[in-house]
């Protein structure tokens, strides 16, 4: 299976390491032989139609900070150039999420679909801003569009809601969908001020380069859009979400909640309306998880409420979700 990889940061590199470590197992178990034919990062690209040497690719990135030094003749293909000029079966989009215009991910995804490539995205921007039209474009071009890593990282939240609750009607859901804000609020409950908790989260690499994505609830809102569309068949985008972040949560708020045996958490909910905001939750509620964990509770018509808890982010966790999507695509192709 020929793959173009857009973006080669933590997630892209983790994925390539997974391909290397599991190559025999993937072929023996699933008949999957991933052949990466093009990779690009912010400084350049590496292309080889017969398949790049993945171990060399990782070493080059580590040594030079870019993949463009992979070959003697340096390659300046952009992601779009690769999509237009290289034959591939699947595009994997891992560039940074951008909630203003979703670029460059949006251009990569739409052009790949129009070229007949299946697409896997862990970039939330295009889905947050144009989920309904991207699904239509995939259907129109008869390609598969997978994005299980956009919500919950390695925890299969989207798969669970869609497949494990088949035949059930989910009536509402609510959850902690951003591990960074959960970590900050947990530390505030343990006595740290907001600024001290934020600095601690930054020192551990949990905070996005643009901290407003975490602190103002944009990341959680994007995931709420994806869930509402995928699980509830809504046709919504980011502007439909009522969104409040955690910047105004004070130590006083946290203490008052604790007196009531509650904790303040940033909750994304889909009931009568779509909302992301800090809320008090009982410490006995299964949703009340600490640290960087994510949790989501689905309430359905007949089987009541079920809660899934798992790691939200992390390079390897997200890479494992891409691999899951790739195996799904491989199986679908084998069926046809």
3-state SS track over 275-293: EEEEEEEECCCCCCCCCCE
Task: Enter the pTM of the model.
Answer: 0.91
From 223, 242, 265, 311, the catalytic residue = 223
User: What confidence tens digit (pLDDT) does each residue in 180-236 have?
Assistant: 999 999 999 999 999 999 999 999 888 888 899 999 999 999 999 999 999 999 999
Confidence of residue 161 (pLDDT cuts 50, 70, 90): confident
Q: Do domains 2-153+315-335 and 157-311 have the same CATH topology?
A: no
How far is it, in rounded angstroms, from Cα 201 to Cα 92? Answer: 29
Tokens encoding 142: 């008869």
Q: How confident is the prediction for the chain on average, in pLDDT? A: 93
Residue 324 has pLDDT above 70, yes or no: yes
Confidence of residue 317 (pLDDT cuts 50, 70, 90): confident
How far is it, in rounded angstroms, from Cα 328 to Cα 334? Answer: 10
User: What confidence tens digit (pLDDT) does each residue in 30-88 have?
Assistant: 989 999 999 999 899 999 999 999 999 999 999 999 999 998 877 778 889 999 999 99
Bridge partners of 145, per DSSP, are 119
- Looking only at the bridges linking them, the beta strands covering 2-6 and 90-93 are parallel
What is the distance, to the nearest Å, from the Cα of residue 300 to the centroid of all Cα atoms in its chain? 24
Identify whether the C-beta of residue 36 lies closer than 8 Å to the C-beta of residue 52.
yes
How far is it, in rounded angstroms, from Cα 250 to Cα 95? Answer: 34
Among this protein's residues, is 146 annotated catalytic? no
Residue 314, CA distances (Å) to 39, 62, 155, 317 in order? 21, 19, 11, 5
- Of 281, 278, 288, which is closest to residue 250 (Cα–Cα)? 278
In degrees and rounded to multiples of 5, residue 61 shows phi and psi of -60, -40
In degrees and rounded to multiples of 5, residue 45 shows phi and psi of -145, 170
- Of 314, 51, 73, which is closest to residue 206 (Cα–Cα)? 314
Residue 268 has pLDDT above 90, yes or no: yes
Confidence of residue 11 (pLDDT cuts 50, 70, 90): very high
How confident is the model at residue 192, as a pLDDT? Answer: 95
How far is it, in rounded angstroms, from Cα 93 to Cα 134? Answer: 14
Residue 150 has pLDDT above 80, yes or no: yes
* CATH number for domain 2-153+315-335, candidates 3.10.20.600, 3.40.50.300, 3.40.50.720, 2.50.20.10: 3.40.50.720
262-270 sheet: strands from edge to edge: 242-243, 274-282, 262-270, 170-176, 293-300, 304-311
For domain 157-311, give the fold: Dihydrodipicolinate Reductase; domain 2 (3.30.360)
Confidence of residue 160 (pLDDT cuts 50, 70, 90): confident
Tokens encoding 232: 């509830």
Helix (H) or strand (E) holding 33: none
Domain ranges of the chain: 2-153+315-335, 157-311
What is the distance, to the nearest Å, from the Cα of residue 118 to the centroid of all Cα atoms in its chain? 17
In the block, tokens 């993937």 appear at 26
How confident is the model at residue 207, as a pLDDT? Answer: 86
3-state secondary structure of 145: strand
């Amino acid at each position: 299976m020929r793959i173009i990889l857009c973006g080669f940061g933590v997630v892209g590199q983790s994925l390539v390491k997974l391909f290397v470590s599991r190559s025999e197992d993937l072929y023996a178990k699933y008949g999957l032989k991933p052949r990466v034919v093009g990779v690009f990062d912010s400084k350049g690209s590496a292309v080889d139609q017969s398949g790049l040497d993945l171990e060399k690719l990782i070493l080059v990135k580590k040594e030079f900070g870019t993949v463009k030094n992979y070959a003697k003749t340096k390659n300046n293909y952009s992601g779009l150039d690769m999509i237009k000029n290289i034959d591939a079966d699947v595009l994997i989009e891992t560039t940074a999420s951008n909630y203003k215009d979703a670029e460059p991910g949006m251009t990569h995804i739409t052009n790949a679909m129009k070229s007949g490539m299946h697409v896997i995205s862990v970039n939330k921007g295009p889905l947050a801003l144009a989920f309904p039209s991207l699904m239509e474009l995939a259907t129109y071009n008869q390609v598969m569009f997978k994005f299980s890593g956009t919500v919950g990282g390695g925890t299969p939240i989207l798969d669970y809601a869609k497949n494990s609750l088949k035949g059930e009607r989910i009536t509402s859901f609510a959850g902690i969908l951003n591990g960074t804000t959960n970590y900050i609020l947990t530390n505030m409950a343990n006595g740290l001020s907001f600024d001290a908790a934020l600095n601690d989260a930054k020192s551990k690499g949990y905070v996005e380069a643009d901290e407003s994505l975490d602190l103002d609830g944009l990341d959680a809102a994007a995931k709420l859009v994806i869930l509402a569309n995928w699980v509830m068949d809504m046709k919504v985008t980011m502007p439909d979400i009522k969104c409040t972040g955690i910047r105004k949560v004070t130590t006083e708020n946290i203490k008052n909640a604790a007196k009531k045996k509650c904790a303040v958490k940033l909750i994304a909910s889909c009931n009568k309306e779509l909302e992301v905001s800090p809320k008090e939750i009982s410490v006995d509620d299964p949703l009340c998880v600490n640290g960087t964990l994510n949790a989501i509770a689905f309430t359905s018509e007949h089987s009541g409420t079920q809660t899934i808890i798992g790691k939200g982010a992390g390079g390897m966790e997200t890479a494992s979700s891409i691999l899951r999507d790739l195996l799904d695509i491989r199986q679908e192709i084998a069926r046809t």
